[in-house]
């Protein structure tokens, strides 16, 4: 069986994240929903910058030592050391008056990763279902580095190949194996 992983930041921030500014949802639409990236590309070509603010417990040194950071949007923030392997958009993060550049990757793989039969669900008062305890498909292929679930694109998983790449490059990223169905 293939093992898939969630990304875990090594920065000890006790839940604080990087707050990515996305008032017009261009970043969300292009990088989470997989929609046309032209509006985001045009904005950047016309001088717009993707910016973010590190929340309370972050310190510049934490960012400098980390190769993956968690954000308020379900988009990984990778150090520039990963840019050659996972291309994307530059993001200027401000932390305690210092600016550091990370990369928001363009994850192009959307797969059926979540196992709807093995996952436990919660139903809202409007009738919408939300995954409560997520189980991923045990038969999922891992011929990708990073992938989003097709139905729940906020869920990003890494393959063993990505874990191995990060280990070979000595990147400061942790991984947690996800629960997979038999």
Q: How many angstroms separate the CA atoms of 142 and 48, rounded?
A: 35
Q: How many angstroms separate the CA atoms of 11 and 32, rounded?
A: 23
Q: How many angstroms separate the CA atoms of 71 and 134, rounded?
A: 20
Rg of the chain, C-alpha, whole Å: 17
Helix (H) or strand (E) holding 20: strand 18-20
CB burial of residue 15 (10 Å; 0-12, 13-18, 19+): exposed
- 7-21 pLDDT tens trace: 999 988 888 999 999
Q: pLDDT band for position 105 (50/70/90)? A: very high
- 39-57 pLDDT tens trace: 999 999 999 999 999 998 8
Cβ atoms within 10 Å of 106's Cβ, excluding its own: 16
Helix (H) or strand (E) holding 61: helix 60-65
| Helical spans, DSSP H, in the chain | 26-27, 38-45, 60-65, 160-168
Phi, psi of 176 (to 5 degrees): -120, 125
Residue-level pLDDT at 49: 94
Helix (H) or strand (E) holding 129: strand 129-133
Looking at residue 74, the DSSP 8-state letter turns out to be S
- 149-166 pLDDT tens trace: 999 999 999 999 999 999
The label of the residue with tokens 């910058």 reads: 49
Phi, psi of 2 (to 5 degrees): -70, 140
Q: CA 106 from chain center: how many Å?
A: 10
Tokens standing for residue 153: 């694109």
Q: How many angstroms separate the CA atoms of 47 and 169, rounded?
A: 32
Note if the pTM is more than 0.75. Answer: yes
């Amino acid at each position: 069986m293939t093992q898939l992983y969630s990304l875990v930041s090594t920065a000890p921030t006790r839940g604080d994240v990087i707050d990515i500014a996305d008032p017009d949802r261009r970043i969300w639409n292009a990088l989470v929903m997989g929609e046309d990236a032209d509006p985001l590309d045009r904005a950047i070509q016309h001088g717009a910058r993707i910016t973010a603010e590190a929340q309370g417990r972050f310190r510049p040194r934490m960012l400098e030592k980390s190769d993956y950071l968690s954000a308020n949007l379900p988009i990984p923030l990778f150090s520039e050391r990963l840019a050659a392997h996972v291309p994307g958009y530059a993001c200027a993060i401000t932390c305690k008056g210092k600016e550091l550049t990370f990369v928001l990757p363009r994850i192009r793989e959307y797969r059926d990763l979540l196992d709807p039969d093995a996952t436990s669900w919660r139903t809202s008062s409007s009738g919408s279902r939300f995954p409560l305890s997520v189980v991923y498909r045990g038969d999922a292929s891992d011929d990708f580095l990073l992938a989003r679930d097709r139905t729940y694109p906020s869920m990003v998983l890494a393959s063993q190949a990505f874990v191995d790449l990060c280990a070979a490059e000595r990147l400061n990223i942790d991984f947690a194996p996800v629960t997979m169905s038999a």
